[in-house]
Amino acid sequence: MNLNIRGNNKMIVMKFGGSSVANAERIKHVAEIIKMNLDEEPVIVVSAMGKTTDNLLAAADAALKGKPNIDAIKELHFQACKDLGISKKEVEDLIQELSQLLVGIVLIKEVSLRTKDYLISFGERLSVRVLSAYLDKIGISSKYHDAFDIGFITDSNFTNAGILDETYKNIDNKLGKLKDNYSYTPVITGFIAKDKDGNITTLGRGGSDLTASVIGTALEAKEVQVWKDVDGILTTDPRIVENTKSLEAVSFEEAAELAYFGAKVLHPRSMLPAMKKNIPVRVKNSYNPKHPGTKIVAKLEDEDTLLKAITIKKNITLVDIVSTRMLGQYGFLAKVFDIFNKERISVDMVATSEVSVSLTLDNGNGLSDLREKLEEIANVNIKKGKTIISLIGNVHHSSEILNKACGVLKNNNINVQMISQGASKVNIGFIVDDDEAEICVKELHKSFFEGTEKFKKISGSSS
């Protein structure tokens, strides 16, 4: 009798990012990790190899200047096929299609967002073919799928497309049968999908995390594992601070805030599907598979941690809007946000007083219409080159966090231009100038984490 019934699902989703599949050696290593977890009936999601997405974008830029060049991409994939001892036929066919696309770009001297998505889709389409063929070769029966062939449908917001709800049912229809009969290991492209008209779309940079979370949710997986090159979610960006430690567990809410406010480790929208169905997510290190990584769950037991992590989001724009009318005029904020709504500009952080509002925008380009409309009701000052530093943690202790943070900022003569505590209750954010951001993060990290007994114990025992 088959006891592998729904609701008692043992299936996991394992997503491997670009650095985990950067070359043949890394792919062999990933195949070993998959092999060790075959009992858990993994569904594999994979990103483009190494820096392929960046290289594809660079190839388009070069093509616009009349010099198409895909040598690096070709060499990487052909060499991988050779080193892994697999046929390069399918890779060759795709490389051929890619070459033709670049010739087209040279001719028309233009890359629309739609063409850009078609172009960068080649990275993931290539990598699934390589990994799947290698799994097959070492005796793990495997098939690859381009995500649109298992039902990933999005809107037509090219380069940052939104997943349509029907995707979940489609995936279950296509892959759900593996839960009863795990007859092969599917290897699925991260990052890409199609819109209703059949155009290839992408989910935004880093979007393979989202692909994994959508598949995990659709199949009600036991766990979604995102395998990276770090021991999980770290206390801050390891490219800025050397002495970070990995977090044992964070809540969905904390992970989502971290991602949204700049921690590159997760795609900003990737937590939402898993959060809705309460599917646990784990961030793991393919370079250090024994490390438990970071578990992301709905609710954490009461913790004594003051702060979980510090994130940094550079290059944002601060808009100060001061009402030209008298104090006490009602409807001012409503008018301001109505303008942002009509201009379809989304706002990250907000701080208000009765007559003024300061807010931050991700993208500071093309704001002349916005400025014009706002100036009908207010004085407007738009300042570029700012950074949001977010303190993510136990905001029940917000006074203690603020007190400590302000001390650090004062001691380092850093001028804070706005402070905001999100309604989410896990995030205190403040704005500083871009060129003060790194020193600020280093000093805050030192003060909140380094030197504490707990920190020494944990960072000493990880890699």
Q: Is the dihedral of CA 442, 443, 449, 453 positive or negative?
A: positive
List the structure tokens of 448: 């909140």
Q: Which residue is nearest to ligand ASP (CB)?
A: 208
Nearer to Mg ion, 206 or 393 (CB): 206
Is position 321 an interface residue for ligand ADP (rule: CB under 6 A)? no
Is position 280 an interface residue for Mg ion (rule: CB under 5 A)? no
User: Of 92-100, 152-160, 232-240, 449-457, which segment contacts ligand ADP by CB under 6 A?
Assistant: 232-240
Among 18, 186, 232, 273, binds ligand ASP (CB under 6 A): 18
Among 206, 216, 422, 429, binds Mg ion (CB under 5 A): 206
- How would you classify the pairing of strands 43-46 and 12-16? parallel
Cα 117 to Cα 194: distance, rounded to the nearest angstrom = 10
Burial 337-362 (b: 16+ CB within 10 A, else e): eebbeeeebeebbebeeebbbbbbbe
Residues 6+ apart with CB under 8 A from 335: 377
- How would you classify the pairing of strands 427-433 and 418-421? antiparallel
Cα 274 to Cα 217: distance, rounded to the nearest angstrom = 6
User: Cβ distance 444 to 391 under 8 Å?
Assistant: yes
Is position 268 an interface residue for ligand ASP (rule: CB under 6 A)? no
Shortest distance in whole angstroms from residue 192 CB to ligand ASP = 9
433 touches, from Mg ion, ligand ASP, ligand ADP, none (C-beta below 5 to 8 Å by class): none
Nearest partner of 191 among 143, 239, 158, judged by Cα: 158
User: Cβ distance 212 to 147 under 8 Å?
Assistant: no
Nearest partner of 388 among 341, 441, 320, judged by Cα: 441
Nearer to ligand ADP, 18 or 422 (CB): 18
Is position 207 an interface residue for Mg ion (rule: CB under 5 A)? no
Convert residues 247-286 into a mask of x (bound to ligand ADP by CB under 6 A) and - (unbound). ----------------xxx---------------------
User: Of 170-178, 202-210, 295-303, 305-313, which segment contacts ligand ASP by CB under 6 A?
Assistant: 202-210
Is position 438 an interface residue for ligand ADP (rule: CB under 6 A)? no
Convert residues 323-362 into a mask of x (bound to ligand ADP by CB under 6 A) and - (unbound). ----------------------------------------
Among 95, 212, 234, 256, binds ligand ADP (CB under 6 A): 234
Crossing angle of helices 71-84 and 113-137, in 10° steps, is: 10
Is position 186 an interface residue for ligand ASP (rule: CB under 6 A)? no
Q: Which residue is nearest to Mg ion (CB)?
A: 206
Contacts with ligand ADP by CB under 6 A: the residue count is 19
User: Of 165-173, 204-212, 292-300, 452-460, which segment contacts ligand ASP by CB under 6 A?
Assistant: 204-212
Shortest distance in whole angstroms from residue 151 CB to Mg ion = 23
Cα 171 to Cα 217: distance, rounded to the nearest angstrom = 10
Is position 74 an interface residue for ligand ASP (rule: CB under 6 A)? no
Backbone φ, ψ for residue 180 (5° rounding): -90, -30
Cα 455 to Cα 309: distance, rounded to the nearest angstrom = 12
Convert residues 38-57 into a mask of x (bound to ligand ASP by CB under 6 A) and - (unbound). ---------xx----x----
Residues near ligand ADP, by CB under 6 A: 17-20, 47, 206, 228-230, 233-234, 236-239, 263-265, 309
